[in-house]
Amino acid sequence: MKNCVALMVRIGLSCSMTSPKDRPGMGQVSAEILRIKHLASCMDFR
What pLDDT does residue 5 have?
93
Q: What is the per-residue pLDDT across 17-35, written as a single tens digit (0 to 9) for each?
A: 999 999 999 999 999 999 9
- Please give the pLDDT value at position 25: 97
pLDDT (0 to 100) of residue 37:
94
Domain of residue 37, residue span: 1-43
Is the four-CA dihedral 20, 23, 28, 30 of positive or negative sign? negative
Question: Alpha-carbon distance 27 to 14, whole Å?
Answer: 14
Is pLDDT at 38 greater than 70 in this prediction?
A: yes
**Does residue 29 sit in helix, strand or coil?**
helix
Share of the chain above pLDDT 70, in %: 93
Hey, which bits of 1-46 come out as E strands? none
3-state SS assignment for residue 18: coil
Q: How confident is the model at residue 43 (pLDDT cuts 50, 70, 90)?
A: confident
The total domain count for the chain is: 1
